[in-house]
Amino acid sequence: MRLVVVGGVAGGMSAAARARRLDEHAEIVVLERGDHPSFANCGLPYYVGGEIEREQSLLVQTPASLAAALDLDVRVRHEVTGLDAGARTVTVQTPAGTEVIGYDALVLAPGARAVVPPVPGIGSPRVTTLRTVGDAVALREAVTGPGAARRAVVLGAGFIGLEAAEALRLRGLEVDVVELADHVLPPLERELATLVTAELRRLGITVHDGVAATAVEQGADADVVVLADGTRLPADTVVLSVGVRPDTAPFEAAGVACERGAIVVDEHGRTNLPGVWATGDATVSTDAVTGVRRPVALAGPANRGGRLVADDILRPGTARPLPQPLGTAVVRVGSLTAAMTGANRAALDAAGTAYETVHLHPGSHAGYFPGAEQVHLVLHVRTGDGLLLGAQAVGADGVDKRIDVLATAMRHRAVAADLIDLDLAYAPPYGSAKDPVNLAGMIADNVATGTVRLWHAADLDDVLERAFVLDVRSPAEFATGHLPGALNVPHTQVRDRLAEIRDAAGGRPVRLHCQSGMRSYLALRVLAQEGFADVAHLSGGMLTLRAWLGGAAGAVLVVPEPVHAV
């Protein structure tokens, strides 16, 4: 049996390696158009920034090592340009010319290409992508070699864009990041993205969000990136990172069914053509939460998908189906980590899913042990049954493991109450007896069962117009900035000042808040049991509200004038 795999790296090489482990006698040919069949594409920005020192470290395997270990026939600089499914052949452009190669089974793992927007001047030689080892080597040379670049513009503030921006800043460059969406890391919720933006600015990176690049003006010594608001950004190098699209043109032309360029596969990776499978960034996946069909360009699903495709080719009776991806992802930005799994608000709204959102800001480990950092955590659960729909977090420590736990819980269709019962490892340097994941479950379960009602930062205008705001922080916290018209009653005084609160409310709904949500929850429970019918507290407290407001916080919050002694 001859198995031909088109494309290496994650999906293709995983399929080829698994196939060899299942069938020692199969002829397995991997056709890779680039120079490297197996490289650490997720490590490229770190090589540019110098954290990965050697280019060789990026090369996970070579054709020689794959031949020695797995007896794979790996052919680099071999680009597949045609497919004849009836004849079971592919047409390949090789260094020696055109070749036609037959197959018994074919795996398509062509990956994706960088999106190049129709911006005048985008073809400048100073504009580069960061998708291959060659890209990384050239960019590193441009920022460290003779006449090294001093100013860089990164177009796109997604995961790769921010990693590239940080790498260039580590090299000492002046860095501007341009993002068309309203905020950096567009899949991240607004109130968390604000924290990432602040960290980028702390690093000395200038952020231009909510604005498009309209031109790249080429110059003799440098280019200028022109923004829609008239800003002009000089650049010695421009990194293009505005997204990717499936690289499937020759296969779609040959009759492989595609949706918006992505290959349609069934639950085992089979295409509509007999003997042809596909995996990786170029395939359509069905979102596990919303059911939306789209490509998921992540290394984890591609690696696992390649393995499962090989199982179906060689063990079709026992192969497990491809799981629907949750889109779990993580990125480092300076001292912070941002991570997510499942759906965000925008995706849930688009899908018409009824949901509740909770915010919390627990410590990464026990507060009495030195070094604890806040984990800013957002959890979405389905209205009614509390089914976990999505989670995101930002913080300096402990973010990745909480999102991994929540991703695991979501894979097993856990509900909010299930998080309460998770038996997670605890010692003071590592966590708390009530882990942030347990706490998220407790809060979400309180909402699901009607024990508490929440209001959200997005409701602020409505709250200020029709509700009575009760701020249960300390007077010192109140003085740092409070909502207009708010009454300050510290949570420990609520029981003693019920009559005052009732009079001040004057029959209006009562909307409480504190700094993070805990004290306002305690106060809410007192008021709810003392006859206040319409009470809710702010999810995530003032920490979330300030992050939601971002730069507008100063115009919204009232800071009392200091009292000077006479």
Q: Which token pair is 376?
A: 């800013």
Q: Count the neighbouring beta carbons within 10 Å of the beta carbon of residue 477.
A: 17
- Average confidence (pLDDT) over 182-208: 98
42 is catalytic: no
Whether the per-residue pLDDT at 563 is higher than 80: the answer is no
532 with 510: CB under 8 angstroms?
Answer: yes
pLDDT tens track for 361-378: 999 999 999 999 999 999
The per-residue DSSP string of 171-213 comes to TT-EEEEEESSSSSSTTS-HHHHHHHHHHHHHTT-EEEES--E
> Which residues make beta-bridge pairs with 464?
none
The predicted model scores a pTM of 0.94
For residue 517, give the nearest of 454, 464, 427 by alpha carbon: 454
User: End-to-end CA distance of the chain, in Å?
Assistant: 95
User: Does position 566 have pLDDT exceeding 60, yes or no?
Assistant: no
Above 80 in pLDDT, residue 100? Answer: yes
Q: Tell me what pLDDT residue 66 has.
A: 96
560 falls in which pLDDT band (50, 70, 90)? Answer: confident
- Give, in order, the Cα–Cα distances in Å from 348 to each of 296, 444, 461: 17, 17, 23
User: What is the average pLDDT score of the chain?
Assistant: 96
Q: Is 550 within 8 Å of 201 (Cβ atoms)?
A: no
Give pLDDT, residue 365: 96
Percent of the chain with pLDDT over 90: 98
* Catalytic site residue from 239, 381, 514, 538: 514
Q: Is the pLDDT of residue 564 over 90?
A: no
pLDDT at 294 over 70: yes
Q: Which residues pair with 381 in a beta bridge?
A: 356, 388
Q: Are 275 and 329 in contact (CB under 8 A)?
A: no
pLDDT in tens, 450-484: 999 999 999 999 999 999 999 999 999 999 999 99
Q: What is the pLDDT of residue 426?
A: 96
Region 126-152 average pLDDT = 94
Reading the block at residue 312, the tokens are 């179906």
For range 320-341, the mean pLDDT = 97
Whether 1 has a pLDDT exceeding 60, the answer reads yes
Q: Note the pLDDT of residue 145.
A: 84
β-pair partners for 138: none
Is residue 385 predicted with pLDDT exceeding 70?
A: yes
Asked whether the predicted pLDDT for residue 565 surpasses 70, the reply is no
pLDDT at residue number 535: 98
